[in-house]
Chains A and B, each alone.
Chain A
Amino acid sequence: MFAAAALALLVTLLLVIVRAALGPSVFDRVLAANTIGTLAMLLLSVFGFMTGRPEFLDLVLVYGLLNVIGTVAVLKFFRYGNLGDDGDPAASSEPPPRAGT
């Protein structure tokens, strides 16, 4: 029965990858990447139970933390143009496109 859940998760992963490849805007791709991260977490935990090694859940925790940090980092990059913005206008060659928060 774990195999059925893993198969459903793989089908879901395939459909989401199709959306990431099609996605007209960059935000569609970021959304698909975020969903792929969630699905990888679920697939890892189901796979760990399927092979009788629930220690995979530690990897799932780390993967979830990396997933949200990656999503927020990519969004910040697309909003400000760089990742290390400390508010100093001389540091960046170009002012941020949207200054208001």
Chain B
Amino acid sequence: MSLFIDILSWASLVAGGLFCIVGAVGMLRMPDFYTRMHAASVVDTLGAGFILFGLLLQAGFTLVAVKLLMIGALLLFTSPTAGHALSRAAFERGLKPLLADEAKS
């Protein structure tokens, strides 16, 4: 049972790392600010979620697990808030989405 939990936790950590790299590559390669925000949200949700879940399995039923859950809840609340503020500020500043002209016509 301990081995099973270890394997699950390791797979989760590696998956989280892969999702983080995928999100960063998206942030580099995407053509537009809004699409870059879309790629950056992968790091905040799937990458952080998988890594925190892997650490949670290593921690067991301790106070450390409670702290990890609190960190996860903090990310879950603050990441959409920051993303919403950022996209709204960019849109009101006049930053147009890349395909705005095609969508209008």
Contacts and interface: CB of A to CB of B under 8 A. Distances in A.
B60 to A, nearest CB: 11
A5 interface: yes
Contacts, number: 140
B67 A5 contact: no
A46 B55 contact: yes
Contacts of B54: 5
Specify the main secondary structure of chain A where it touches its partner.
helix
Contacts of A25: 33, 90, 95
A58 to B, nearest CB: 7
B98 interface: no
Contacts of B28: 15, 18-19
A54 to B, nearest CB: 4
How many interface residues does chain A have, given as a range?
35 or more
Interface string B1-45: 000000001100110111011011101100001001100100110
A25 to B, nearest CB: 6
A98 B82 contact: no
A91 interface: no
B43 A12 contact: yes
A31 B95 CA distance: 14
A42 B48 contact: yes
Contacts of B79: 38
A71 B88 CA distance: 13
A78 B89 contact: yes
Interface of A: 1-2, 4-5, 7-9, 11-13, 15-16, 18-19, 25, 27-28, 30-32, 34-35, 38-39, 41-42, 45-46, 49, 54, 57-58, 60-61, 64-65, 67-68, 71-72, 75, 78-79, 98
Q: Which 10 A-B pairs have the closest CB atoms?
A: A8-B17, A15-B24, A68-B78, A57-B67, A12-B20, A5-B13, A12-B24, A27-B90, A54-B64, A1-B10
13 contacts: A5-B54, A7-B17, A8-B16, A9-B51, A11-B21, A12-B20, A13-B24, A18-B28, A38-B75, A42-B16, A45-B52, A57-B67, A61-B67
